[in-house]
Structure 1
């Protein structure tokens, strides 16, 4: 079981293109408030700078990707000292055209930035992937792996001209881009560098990663700490200790959250009876399932299905 793919599917994770910024020269600046989701910028042409409150200006060149997993407020500018104007004001002064490009004018080399975000069910502080990442991930285009370079080039091309189906292709490429950026970041720095316990760290461990795969592949099975430890060839105490250290939750707590996440997805996407969903994710009674669901997400299954206001984050606890 591909754990990363399973979590992204369960949380309904998908990319959306928002707009493009296009300028000639360096006399421009765009300020963006905190997003309620993850955002990204792909530098399709030229050079610009990314500024956040807690880090020095970061130069971005053609082919670079900047991912902001928790949507931290930031600025994109043509020069590290350039004053930024809020995006809403820029868009009002330079209304996006049919291709959703904000033309900022100027004279000089072309700068084109493709901007997008990732939608999902839940909030960034509890999403199992995003909560394990730093505030900004910068993947240089020149040092990225060939697969990521290919995605970047294709996305830049699809957003540069109005070809039939270009919007659909570009939108789907954003999903691929996210996975490729995470791969590149893990290969380059490693999840351990964040100093945080998360299942991203655990995926790099052969035995704990194998245990996670087992649970994601068959969450309905009556797993115990003993059976999981045996299946990955570890003693029970060593497995429990290592799992908690790397994942930040006990095996059974993780399993409980995983089951509830899957149940939440089935409630959102299907019309199956609550009792059927309870059985499908491993609960022997609807009462036990409802109690566990309410404990994890703050609302009972029926209210969650109806779109109650207290819908909570979806994704294994980190």
Structure 2
């Protein structure tokens, strides 16, 4: 029941990338907002992350910070250090201006993901601008194992490195989001999608919607999958997910259809059938209502 992977997968575009940045004090570099998500891990030394809004965050070895909405920010050795401009927050572009080689006193591992922000999954909309995961002995072992593997692969590239790095970056994002979701329950009763993913009944229903979007679902059928009565299921689903069951089903179908139009060359009729429409006309009408463009024009607009 991998709802978290589905939420990420439906938004992701292109391949993620990463870079190791080595800096010698004094240093400061600014990253502009971008359409995606990024992260920084402190491998050696210390630094400050300075978000566009809110307080600066002191980072030390082992700390992980994620910017799930791609907000503008800066990194510096000190809050008093002037900041140099960077062309974008895609860190591989920042790398040529951010490497002080063997003189480095701070070493960062940075990654970036490109995401389709036109229709973000509700889970992503609940995430804060900055997620800070301080290092703790014996805590988040899988996340730190992925960091070590990624750092080693970047430092010592070999056959297949491109595929290995891409897979490890996918793991990193999942581990970061898992850790944040876990912290929501550690701090008290979970709400929103943190609570949804902790609720076996509602997660089961969401999973079935994700895996079988073409099925003719009813509230009663989904409630049966969840092991709840129709009324109890509808109330609980709406309270946690923020949409009624069939409203979320339509949202998922249209989001999946947009992804298939963007990332594949499948015929519109095939996409219509895969998302629960026996009529291409009915699908086109529903799609235009949700996205403002007919499916063919939507695909053309993305690729021109």
Superposition TM-score tier, normalisation by shorter sequence: 0.7 to 0.9
Deviation at 1:59, TM superposition (A): 1.6
Deviation track 1:150-193 (CA, whole Å, cap 9, x = no partner) reads 10111122223454444442233111100011111112233997
Deviation at 1:99, TM superposition (A): 12
Q: Does 1:50 align with 2:49?
A: yes
Cα distance change on mapping 1:170 and 1:142 into 2, 3 Å:
farther
Question: d(CA) in 1 for partners of 2:280 and 2:87?
Answer: 48
Name structure 2 gaps, 5 residues minimum: none
Cα distance change on mapping 1:34 and 1:120 into 2, 3 Å:
closer
| Mapped contact 2:38–2:67 kept (Cα < 8 A) | yes
Q: Does 1:277 align with 2:277?
A: no
SS in structure 1 opposite 2:201?
helix
2:117 is matched with: 122
Q: Does 1:137 align with 2:137?
A: no
2:239 is matched with: 245
Deviation at 1:80, TM superposition (A): 3.2
Question: d(CA) in 2 for partners of 1:162 and 1:148?
Answer: 21
2:149 is matched with: 154
Question: d(CA) in 2 for partners of 1:183 and 1:47?
Answer: 25
The structure whose RCO (Cα within 8 Å, separation 6+) is larger is 1
SS in structure 2 opposite 1:117?
strand
Q: Does 1:213 align with 2:215?
A: no
1:181 is matched with: 176
2:22 is matched with: 22
Name structure 1 gaps, 5 residues minimum: 90-95, 311-318
* Count of residues in Structure 1 that have an aligned counterpart in Structure 2: 301
SS in structure 2 opposite 1:31?
strand
Q: Does 1:258 align with 2:252?
A: yes
SS in structure 1 opposite 2:78?
coil
Q: Does 1:169 align with 2:144?
A: no
Deviation at 1:297, TM superposition (A): 1.6
Cα distance change on mapping 1:164 and 1:98 into 2, 3 Å:
farther
Q: Report the TM-score, using the length of structure 2 for normalisation.
A: 0.86
Cα distance change on mapping 1:109 and 1:121 into 2, 3 Å:
closer
Q: Does 1:34 align with 2:33?
A: yes
CA RMSD of aligned residues (A): 3.1
Question: d(CA) in 1 for partners of 2:92 and 2:113?
Answer: 23
2:9 is matched with: 9
Question: d(CA) in 1 for partners of 2:261 and 2:99?
Answer: 45
Question: d(CA) in 1 for partners of 2:92 and 2:301?
Answer: 35
Which aligned pairs between 1:57-68 and structure 2 lie closer than 5 A?
A: 57-68=56-67
Question: d(CA) in 2 for partners of 1:194 and 1:61?
Answer: 29
Normalized per residue, the structure richer in helix is 2
Deviation at 1:308, TM superposition (A): 4.6
Deviation at 1:48, TM superposition (A): 0.9
Deviation track 1:109-132 (CA, whole Å, cap 9, x = no partner) reads 621122221112334x83434212
Q: Does 1:303 align with 2:297?
A: yes
Question: d(CA) in 1 for partners of 2:285 and 2:213?
Answer: 18
Deviation at 1:219, TM superposition (A): 1.2
SS in structure 2 opposite 1:39?
strand
Cα distance change on mapping 1:278 and 1:59 into 2, 3 Å:
same
